[in-house]
Each structure stands twice: as structure tokens, then as C-alpha cells.
Structure 1
Amino acid sequence: MTEQSPGTDGDDARSETPVSETDPADDTAAEDRDASPADATVDEGAEPTPGVPDEETLDVPEDVATYDRFKKMDGAQYERVNEFLRDRTYITAREWAIARLCSDFRTETGVEMTKIGENLPELVPFMTDTYTPQAVNQARAAFEDKIRTAGATFLYGAMCDFFTAEELDDVMYESTEVAKFLLEVEGVDLSVEEELEAEERISSVMREVREASAELREEEESQ
């Protein structure tokens, strides 16, 4: 099985509705809704000449050829990666990969959307199609929308007194473990000190959120 191209039938296929016109709370509609990938013609029956670089290899930019962010994902299938993410996060495999690429290929003047789209299969092992710059931008926008929506949902859950302090700690621990795993898959080597520092920063913020929420509820009840 391979990654489904946007615009085809399937669980990850969506219409070309702009991101801003789709309700981000709708998990189904918010999943994969980019434009069609760039057209490409490939002669699957052609065999490369041993020792002679093919034309496609020669056209790959140097920073693309040396990019190894997702090297641990060699041989992975899109559906498996997507299933893992869907079970643990609010984002899809396409949005995860493209959001990371947009960060890595950011320049002083913006993000190199065209380079990312044209070289997507070379950059990410589980992506099999090239994408238009518009499709790349739409995936990035979908990622940002979902992060903001998930953040608001989580903070509301933390502030509305639905979770006890212990339950909230469990949520934070599980979330941190998933986030660390994704970073490790991307090739980010976190030291024990860095992990502890990140966990302490998160715990500190959440303590402040709980304290501020409790104070706010007390003020409301006293009025």
C-alpha cells in the first residue's frame, strides 16, 4: 500500500475546499484537503544504467539529496504512519511531514514551497507523489489549524476542572511521550537533561494554568 494522492477517493482524500472554510473541529473534514499533486510522468519499466546517474538524480538539489530528517522511516508505508498518528494525535502523516519540511526549508524570505513539493518523495520516504506549492501550503495551514484547535481544547480541559491534578499529569505524560517519539523518529537526539528540562517547563506551565484556573473559579463563585 502507498500514500494516497490528494484528490483521489479514500479516507485521506478531500475536496479542494480552502482550509479556512472548513470547520477545524470536524476531524473528518479537517484531515487531508490539499490540492492535487503536481503532474508527473514516470516510466516504471525503464531500468537505470549501472554507474550512470539518471536525469532525476541530477536534478535533485544538494540540500535535498543530503536531507536525512526522516531516514529512520525508510521502507515505511504511508498508511501505517498515518494510522499511528491518527491513533495518538490530531494530525495526519502528510501534515506532519510537510510541517517539518516547512520549518527546515524556511529562508529569510519565506518557505521554499516549490522545492518541498517537487522533491517530496526524495525528502520523505513514505510520501510517493510530488505536490504543487499550493498543496504544500494547504497542508501547512491544516497543521497549524489543528495545533491551535488542539491547544485550545486541551487548555479548556485543564481549566474547566474536569480533570484532577493527577489525571492531568497523566495526560501530560502520555502527550510528552508521543511528542518525544516523533522527534526521535525525525532524527532529533534528545539528551536526558533536555528531556527533563522540557518536562519541567511543561509541568511548570501546567501548574500555573491550574492555579490561575482555580483562582478564577473562586472569584466567579464569590460574586
Structure 2
Amino acid sequence: MDGNEAVDRSDADRRERTDQSAGTDDDSSGDAAASTAGDERADDSDGSMPGVPDPEPAENDVPEDVQKYARFTKMDGAQYDRVNEFLRDRTYITAREWAIARLCSDFRTETGVEMTKIGENLPELVPFMTDTYSPQAVNQARSSFEDKVRTAGATFLYGAMCDFFTAEELDDVMYEATEVAKFLLEVEGVDLSVEDELEAEERISSVMREVREASEELRAEDLADGDA
């Protein structure tokens, strides 16, 4: 899985980040938050007739919108561990959090997110997910994604405001982050138009200008206090 290399992080940093991730997110051993549907299927199989295979679910048992779902088609044949490793090297999120965050966005309705549908059809919706999830597991992954985005945002803004990076270095950080985000969107199959891309970049640039102005004001206040 190719992509632009992000800022280098030490192995220690990655271990600390994983240990402090929101929720019970141990993706190194596979889909830890998968539902107990597998155990339930095993119990059911005990009562089946020996030598008679269980019937395959009919295609019409799968909801129509699930059958037509076209995200992640570029990931056909991809293994979960490889996808997870790619994300771990470039982001805070895991493969399951990435997939479920996108699904929660796509299957949002006026009354909420169709978590049961997402969990029950997860292997049909995302090629590198191999088991079903309970609604609670879907919700936990979504919550973990939200927490990590907020934490990463606070970390970035602090780094931008504390005068650790120069303006040029911040531009490099933003460029790398933007390239990784665009790559993930492309893999998802999101058709990002030039206008949408420019609008997003303008929003980011506007926030960055505000951050730099606030940082400059803080530094000016510190200098004034030091001269007093």
C-alpha cells in the first residue's frame, strides 16, 4: 500500500500512542471489538445435522444499499494487518476506526446512524474487515475515532502556537497531512472535485492564519511582560 511518508515517529512514541488510544483498541491482534456473532454461530452449529452444510444466506438477505455500496473497492484483496500498519505509520487511527468512521458517515440518517446494519454487514461493506460487529462495537470504534481526531487536533494546534515550528515547517506539516488525507479519500472512492479540494485547503489555510496570528500575539505579550 503506497502513500506519502509522514513525519517520522519513534517506536516508543507509537507504543505510547497505542497504549493510550481511546477505547479497547488492540488492533495488533486483529478485530478485537468484533461482535460475539461468531460464538453464537458456533453454538447454533451444534444442533445442525451432520454432513449437511448450513445454507448460504440468500443474496436478497443483504440490504440493497449494502449491495450497492461502492466504497473501498480499491482495497479488494487487501489484508487487515497491512492496512492497519499503513495507517499506524501515518495517522492515529486504526483500520477498523477508519472503515467504521466512513460507514457511520455514509449510513447516517435523520434519526442517527444505522449501526446494526453496519455491524451485521461489515464484511460485505469493507473488503479488509472479515467479521461482523455488534452495534456496541461499531459505536465504540466511532467514539474512538472522534476522540483521536480531537486529541490530534489539540496536539497540532499546540505545536503550531508554542513557537516550536517555523512558518515554513508548519507548511510542510500541513502539506504532508493533506497528502495523506487525500490519499485515504481516493482509496475510499471519494470523488473529490477540484472545487471541493480548493475549498478544503482554504478552510485549513484560514485556520492556520488564525493560529499564527494568535501565536504572534502571545509571543508579543510575553516579550512585553519580560520588559516590564
Paired AA for residue 127 in structure 2: P
Choose which of 189, 202, 205 in structure 2 pairs with 1:203.
205
For residue 37 of structure 1, what is the aligned residue in structure 2?
35
- In 2 relative to 1, CA 46–140 (structure 1 residues): closer, same or farther, beyond 3 Å? farther
How many Å separate the matches in 2 of 1:95 and 1:46? 38
User: For residues 47 and 185 of structure 1, what CA distance do their matches in structure 2 show?
Assistant: 37
Residue 19 of structure 2 is aligned to residue 28 of structure 1: yes
CA distance in 2, matches of 1:46, 1:182: 43
Range with bigger deviation, 28-37 or 140-149: 28-37
Summarize the Cα distance change of 1:36–1:195 in structure 2 as closer, same or farther, 3 Å threshold: closer
Is the Cα contact below 8 Å between 2:25 and 2:33 reproduced in 1?
Answer: no
Aligned length: 194
* Amino acid of the structure 2 residue aligned with 1:118: E
Q: TM-score, normalised by structure 2?
A: 0.78
SS in 2 for 1:55: coil
Secondary structure of the equivalent of 1:85? helix
- Select which of 73, 76, 80 maps to 2:75: 73
- Further displaced range: 34-43 or 63-72: 34-43
Which amino acid letter does the alignment assign opposite residue 63 of structure 1?
D
Gaps of 5+ in 2: 1-15, 27-31, 46-50
Aligned AA (2:35): P
Whether 1:138 and 2:129 are equivalent positions in the alignment is no
Letter in 1 for 2:18: D
Q: Give 3-state SS (helix, strand or coil) of 2:36's partner.
A: coil
Q: 1:126 to 1:47 in 2, by over 3 A?
A: farther
- The letter of the residue matching 2:25 is D
Deviations 1:162-191 (A, max 9, x none): 000000000000000000001111111223
What is the 5 A alignment of 1:175-190? 175-190=177-192
**TM-superposition CA deviations, 1:117-169 (whole Å, max 9, x none):** 00000000000000011100000010011000000000000000000000000
CA distance 1:122–1:46, change in 2 (3 Å): farther
Cα displacement (A) at 1:47: 8.6
Kindly state the Cα deviation for residue 204 of structure 1 after the two structures are TM-superposed: 2.4
Larger helix fraction of residues? 2
Q: Which of residues 55, 63, 67 is equivalent to 1:61?
A: 63
Partners of 1:56 and 1:158 in 2: CA distance = 54
In 2: Cα distance, 1:197 partner to 1:102 partner: 23
How much does 1:196 deviate?
Answer: 2.8
Larger RCO (CA under 8 A, 6+ residues apart): 2
Q: Which residue of 2 aligns with 1:115?
A: 117
| CA distance in structure 2 between the aligned counterparts of 1:221 and 1:131, rounded to whole angstroms | 55
1:159 pairs with one of 158, 161, 168: 161
Identity of aligned residues (%): 78
- The amino acid of 1:38's aligned partner reads T
Instruction: Report if aligned partners of 2:80, 2:95 keep a CA contact under 8 Å in 1.
Output: yes
1: CA distance between counterparts of 2:183 and 2:52? 39
Partners of 1:162 and 1:214 lie apart in 2 by: 12
- Distance in 2 separating the partners of 1:111 and 1:96: 16
How far residue 212 of structure 1 moved from its aligned partner, in angstroms, is 1.3
Query: What runs of 5+ residues in structure 1 fail to find an aligned partner?
Result: 1-24
The answer to whether the 8 A contact 2:34-2:131 is kept is no
Counterpart code for 2:114: E
The aligned amino acid for 1:144 is: E
Secondary structure (helix, strand or coil) at the match of 2:19 reads coil
Tell me what 2:13 maps to: none
Structure 1 stretches (4+) deviating beyond 6 angstroms?
A: 45-49
